[in-house]
Amino acid sequence: MTTPGQGQQGPLPIPGTAGSTPLTPMSEQIEAVKHGQLPSGPGGYDPNNPGSWEEQIQRAAYLHQAGLPQDPEPDHGGKGYEFNPETLPALIREFEEIAEDSRHFEYQIRQASSAATPPAPDKKSMEYVTAYQASLNKAAEQAKGASVYLDDLVQSMKKALADYQQNEEHNAQDLRRNKA
């Protein structure tokens, strides 16, 4: 059983087990999230089949921005996480690029919002533009949330890589000292 998250009642069954919600494909979950519908719990999220990395980032960014707990991690049989120092720098660059794209997208959305003008001076046109701008501003906040999440992720990855490199250097010094 998992611990209930914000707005949830009682313990939730682990996805894929008896009593749990049937699993929902990740693409459907992302579409629901884009329309402001978030399951009250893991709601069909399967940590052993989390979807593509883009879908994982979108879902994690939304949960982060909404202040909700992140999805459960898959069971790796007690091995912890896998760390590959050879591929991590490329991943860091890729996530930095995605974060930058998200910041640029946020800027474009905010530009569109500020450029919106009513087609006519009547009340309905003004209401339409106000609703349009509110929608764009919400989308810009979502893009900002994704950027913040990715920036935090990149910093964590950089720290992990630096710690690994420092430990490797320390181990190499110990080996040289013991060899002498």
Within the chain, all domains assigned CATH 1.10.287 are found at 88-179
Q: Is the pTM of this model over 0.85?
A: no
CA distance 29 to 118: 34
Sequence-separated (6 or more) residues with CB below 8 Å from residue 162: none
Determine the pLDDT at residue 5. Answer: 46
- pLDDT tens string 120-129: 999 999 999 9
- pLDDT tens string 100-149: 999 999 999 999 999 999 989 999 999 999 999 999 999 999 999 999 99
CATH, domain range 88-179 = 1.10.287
Average pLDDT, the chain: 75
The answer to whether the CB of 27 falls within 8 A of the CB of 55 is: yes
Determine the pLDDT at residue 141. Answer: 92
User: Higher pLDDT residue, 6 or 90?
Assistant: 90
